[in-house]
Amino acid sequence: MRIKLLFAALLLGTSSVLAQEMNSLMFRAGVKSPELKNDSITFRLVAPKARKVSVSASWLGYNPNNLQLTQQRDGIWSVTIPQPDPELYTYTFVVDGVSLLDPSNVQVQRDGSRYMNALLVPGDYADNYAECSKPGNVEHVWYYSAENQMTRRMYVYTPYGYDKNKKTKYPVLYLLHGGGGDEDAWSTLGRTCQIMDNLIAQGKAEPMLVVMPNGNPNQYAAQTLGIPVKQDVKQYASGFDNYSSLVADIVPYIEKNYNVIKNRSGRSVAGLSMGGGQSFFIAFRNIDTFSSVGIFSSGLIGASAIGGAPFDAEAHFPGMYSNPAKYNKFNVIYLSCGEQDNRIDGMLDFKKKLDEKAYKGVVWEQYPGGHEWKVWRRNLASFVQLIFKK
Amino acid sequence: MRIKLLFAALLLGTSSVLAQEMNSLMFRAGVKSPELKNDSITFRLVAPKARKVSVSASWLGYNPNNLQLTQQRDGIWSVTIPQPDPELYTYTFVVDGVSLLDPSNVQVQRDGSRYMNALLVPGDYADNYAECSKPGNVEHVWYYSAENQMTRRMYVYTPYGYDKNKKTKYPVLYLLHGGGGDEDAWSTLGRTCQIMDNLIAQGKAEPMLVVMPNGNPNQYAAQTLGIPVKQDVKQYASGFDNYSSLVADIVPYIEKNYNVIKNRSGRSVAGLSMGGGQSFFIAFRNIDTFSSVGIFSSGLIGASAIGGAPFDAEAHFPGMYSNPAKYNKFNVIYLSCGEQDNRIDGMLDFKKKLDEKAYKGVVWEQYPGGHEWKVWRRNLASFVQLIFKK
């Protein structure tokens, strides 16, 4: 603080001006939370009038009874626990039954319409979720979808050093979110930019673009922009098989506006949950367009265990099992599910059927976790190391 | 809801799968808040165990005593008030002394390290803050600052239809945030993209790029990214006169990578508070680089009323008053301050001195409000209508 006040004095000959000009960033008083120290983590909250303060934490099943704070002094509540394993977690405080963000933690993520604090416990694969010294850019791009008759938003990640005039063109991964998500989900909850930056910097993934569109046919863009949804949602009438706009509108836009490979060797599609089902349809319907596909925790494929009809790929694409030569053209068919996600049985069954028909490039991975981002971030990190290999 | 369930049934032959896949967006139960209806606005919060629930609202001085909710039924608290005048406001709930976001309102803004809900009361000039049907893109761009020896982030707005190959090149506004802000502030709190989209679509402003860098010399990027600040902050030793990197690093980067005008006729610089002081120095030090300057609510210029030494432009730039021909070269010198901001006297005094020396292009505006975004959004909207006129 001494240095900062000196610094203030230098700036204008008085600290009071600076204190007003540089308000919250440097001079804001407050408790430290969360504090990671050695192997422990401490949460703190100022709540003098509270009767009960808890943390609702992703690694404790969001059950606030699992992590309660006690009041220390001056209305400051705290709790110290051992750090959970390296991972990007989310949490909120719960004070007398209402949820609130940790006012001392500026790391915040939105999941649908819910805001939660983020907490990165570093180490192991979670280091890929931290900022990299060679960061790529991300663009919020509006494009016209003739298919949907809407001007819609997508995010486009370009890798570090992306050169629009480079002779060697870049491949593109089209990456689809789940139900309740939008074009923002993969870059925030999914940590896509950091994962790509780190893996590319380490030479583990090829430099590629990642295009993250909005796969909800009634949304122009994420609901944070406040644009009313489109009432005409007929596109869903054909089920998960709805996202023809990706190939009709988005691929041409990207190939017109970016320095990318314009054939199947440079195109991949992957998605989680709803986006996994969309990826299945998009890839198998357009085998000449994409060279690989990633399907993470698809409810379409894992439907039987969660109350749906058993998944039958042959019914959707006649020949998939009876004449596999027709469809056995992908370099990579990556399938994955969380071990505690009940979609896993259906996903495994699909994998088994593809193996029985000797589909090439089939990769199966499973990770501890439910239907959650912890699993999908690892899926992304694995998948991008498999595709566009030279 | 009937339609949505039908819709679900169509999707997978069962609604239970869809309900899991499309969780929060469509099926989330909850109260509506805030609800704008006719001329009223209703806030609602579920808090069965609370003893006191208030709204801390920007238009009521953030004083929670000014807007208290009462418990209706089932633990739902609410209050209905007349709508304030059209404007983009911020608020939080306060429950028994702790602040929390409105869980029913997905519109959230960050001011420094504080998160608040946003509330747009439409009408009048506030309609410029709503999404436009012809939106421009925004890029999160990392560039190398040789001056700071850091890889830093800035936001770059490109107007609707921006064409990187267009023969007629675009002008550029460099737009600087205040103390406690960062490269994210102007596009979120300042609503820059929406303001630009609307004014350009209405033909009131020329299509232009808006570059929003991070003016804190110790930050690589907004603190939301979790990158530790740079310890060496020597750049501040020369006071507000610190942002030479804008001209040394950022202008060349933009002119290399975008389709922009590369002379002073196509460059403008403006900023609020700390960024207003920076804009003063940048513009007058580089009169051959910029053709206009906007200074909003500068604490440097308004210093005397907030505890600083009286502002003396002549001391910074010998000749400013004694030999005005040397500096009287801008098409626009836009000066503004909130009427309840104590910086206004110093700002007005500077305006008076420029008039006395017959500086051309001097524009003064004042708006009801303190040292706040309500004023700066209007400053931006006015300023961009004055610059780059053909």
What is the pLDDT, as a whole number, of residue A240? 58
Nearest in space to A147 (alpha carbons), one of A285, A249, A279: A249
User: What ipTM was predicted for this assembly?
Assistant: 0.91
Tokens of A75: 């209305």
pLDDT above 90 for A182: yes
- Nearest CA of chain A to the CA of B361: how many Å? 27
Cα dist. A232→A7, A51, A236, B245 in Å?
58, 48, 10, 50
For the entire predicted model, the pTM comes to 0.92
- Taking CA–CA distances from B304, the nearest residue in chain A reads A17
- Nearest CA of chain B to the CA of A369: how many Å? 16
pLDDT digits (tens, 9 = 90+) for B157-215: 999 999 999 999 999 999 999 988 999 999 999 999 999 999 999 999 999 999 999 99
Residue B114 C-alpha from the chain's centroid:
15
What is the pLDDT, as a whole number, of residue A225? 95
Nearest in space to B365 (alpha carbons), one of B326, B332, B321: B332
Q: How far apart are CA B118 and CA B139, in angstroms?
A: 23
**Contact state of B50 with A139 under an 8 Å Cβ cutoff:** no
Cα dist. B126→A127, B88, B111, B297, B308 in Å?
43, 7, 20, 20, 34
- Nearest CA of chain A to the CA of B168: how many Å? 19
pLDDT above 60 for A199: yes
Q: How far apart are CA B220 and CA A29, in angstroms?
A: 23
Query: Which of A5, A14, A15, A17 to mutate: most B Cβ within 10 Å?
Result: A17
Q: Which three-class secondary structure state does DSSP give residue B79?
A: strand
Of A137, A164, A240, the CB nearest to B139: A137
Percentage of residues in chain B having pLDDT higher than 70: 90
pLDDT digits (tens, 9 = 90+) for A69-111: 999 878 999 999 999 999 999 999 999 999 999 999 999 999 9
The answer to whether the beta carbons of residues A93 and A104 sit under 8 Å apart is no
Count Cβ neighbours within 10 Å for each residue of A140-173 and write b for 16 or more, e otherwise.
Answer: bbbbebebbebbbbbbbbbbbebeeeeeeebbbb
pLDDT above 90 for B262: yes
Q: How confident is the model at residue B234 (pLDDT cuts 50, 70, 90)?
A: low
pLDDT above 60 for A263: yes
pLDDT above 80 for A2: no
pLDDT above 70 for B237: no
Strand ranges for chain B from DSSP E: 35-37, 40-46, 53-57, 70-73, 76-82, 87-95, 98-100, 108-111, 114-121, 137-145, 150-158, 172-176, 209-212, 267-272, 292-296, 332-338, 362-367
Q: How confident is the model at residue A5 (pLDDT cuts 50, 70, 90)?
A: very low
pLDDT digits (tens, 9 = 90+) for B363-380: 999 999 999 999 999 999
Count Cβ neighbours within 10 Å for each residue of A325-335 and write b for 16 or more, e otherwise.
Answer: eebbbbbbbbb
The set of long-range contacts for B217-222, using a CB threshold of 8 Å and a minimum separation of 24, is B217/B148, B217/B242, B217/B243, B217/B245, B219/B152, B219/B182, B220/B150, B220/B151, B220/B152, B220/B153, B221/A131, B221/B152, B221/B153, B221/B182, B221/B183, B222/B153, B222/B182, B222/B183, B222/B184
pLDDT digits (tens, 9 = 90+) for A310-342: 899 999 999 999 999 999 999 999 999 999 999
Query: Range with the lowest mean pLDDT among A37-51, A86-100, A233-247, B316-330?
Result: A233-247
- Nearest CA of chain A to the CA of B353: how many Å? 21
Q: How confident is the model at residue A6 (pLDDT cuts 50, 70, 90)?
A: very low
What is the pLDDT, as a whole number, of residue A233? 63
On average, the pLDDT of chain A sits at 90
Q: With contacts defined as CB-CB under 8 Å, which chain B residues touch A101?
A: 100-101, 115
Percentage of residues in chain B having pLDDT higher than 90: 82
Q: How far apart are CA B218 and CA A260, in angstroms?
A: 36
Query: Which of A7, A15, A25 to mutate: most B Cβ within 10 Å?
Result: A25
pLDDT above 70 for B14: no
The answer to whether the beta carbons of residues A330 and A290 sit under 8 Å apart is yes
pLDDT above 60 for B1: no
